[in-house]
């Protein structure tokens, strides 16, 4: 049996038993969970004819460290990553936005993650899409709710659409972050933030992503996500 594990696997097939991975999930405790979720899904299902829907979030913090994970390496020369105890390269934060109409991503790196750093990309998005209301789906991070941000949004026709607490899966950009992390960070050990952010990694992935966007597929996946179970509608 030890030499032929497939025999054991085949013996379980009649009982419809197979090895499977499990994942955890967290129930939302937001008292306005239903209303917030309905607002986000309404923008996905019935986008307004005027204006743009933007999914925005911060990615990070990004520091310089060896990162375990799968990657594509030469068969005979799979690298071993060094072990580190210090993070002397400093921390950076990435603000990213996904335009649902085109499937394109926009991003900026900053040294801090305050309301000022959040407001600057918002103003750049407003300049990029100058007409109509800008609907920005984001989480409940406290700088997003600062009075200075709210006043600016009110004066510039920007609506911040907050996802419920513990419901980041409602923000479509989280799916893009998963792909970005897989293709740029897993199994990496970059020597500097310049290389990690601008040279070959994150910037290169975003350029590739924006050259091959798929808004049609994106719309279909937004309207038919696996997370929209009957108990969540």
Convert the pLDDT of each residue in 135-193 to its tens digit: 999 999 999 999 999 999 999 999 999 999 888 888 999 888 888 888 887 777 777 77
CATH number of the domain residue 49 falls in: 3.30.420.10
Pairing between strand 92-99 and 104-110?
antiparallel
Convert the pLDDT of each residue in 206-217 to its tens digit: 888 888 766 645
Q: Does any domain span residue 101?
A: yes
Q: Does any domain span residue 83?
A: no
pTM: 0.76
Q: What is the pLDDT of residue 40?
A: 92
Split into its structural domains, the chain has a count of 1
Q: Does any domain span residue 170?
A: yes
Q: Which residues of 126-135 are buried (b: 16+ CB within 10 A; e: fewer)?
A: beeeeeeebb
The predicted model gives 80-102 an average pLDDT of 81
Phi and psi at 14, nearest 5°, equal -60, -25
Convert the pLDDT of each residue in 26-42 to its tens digit: 667 888 998 999 999 99
The predicted model gives 84-96 an average pLDDT of 79
Q: Does any domain span residue 4?
A: no
Q: Which domain holds residue 41?
A: 33-62+90-224
The strand pairing partners of 57, in sequence order, are: 96
The predicted model gives 99-112 an average pLDDT of 88
Preceding omega of 61 cis (within 30 degrees of 0): yes
Q: Does any domain span residue 114?
A: yes
Q: Does any domain span residue 232?
A: no
Q: Does any domain span residue 25?
A: no
Q: Does any domain span residue 71?
A: no
Q: What percentage of the chain has pLDDT greater than the value 90?
A: 30
């Amino acid at each position: 049996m030890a030499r032929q594990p497939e025999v054991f696997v085949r013996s379980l097939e009649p009982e419809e038993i197979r090895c499977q991975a499990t994942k955890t999930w967290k129930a939302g405790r937001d008292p306005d969970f239903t209303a917030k979720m309905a607002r986000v899904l309404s923008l996905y299902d019935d986008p307004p004819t005027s204006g743009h829907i933007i999914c925005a979030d911060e990615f990070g913090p990004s520091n310089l460290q060896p990162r375990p994970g799968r990657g594509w390496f030469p068969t005979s020369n799979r690298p071993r990553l060094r072990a580190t105890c210090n993070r002397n390269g400093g921390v950076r934060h990435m603000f990213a936005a996904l335009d649902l109409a085109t499937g394109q991503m926009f991003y900026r790196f900053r040294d801090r993650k305050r309301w000022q750093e959040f407001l600057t990309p918002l103003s750049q998005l407003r300049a990029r899409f100058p007409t109509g209301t800008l609907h920005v789906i984001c989480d409940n991070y406290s700088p997003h709710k600062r009075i200075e941000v709210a006043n600016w949004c009110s004066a510039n026709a920007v609506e911040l659409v907050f996802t419920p607490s513990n419901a980041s899966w409602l923000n479509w950009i989280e799916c893009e972050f998963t792909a970005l992390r897989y293709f740029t960070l897993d199994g990496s050990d970059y020597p500097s933030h310049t290389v990690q952010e601008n040279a070959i990694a994150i910037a290169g992935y975003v350029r590739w992503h924006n050259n091959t966007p798929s808004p049609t597929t994106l719309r279909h996946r937004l309207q038919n996500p696996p997370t929209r179970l009957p108990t969540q509608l």
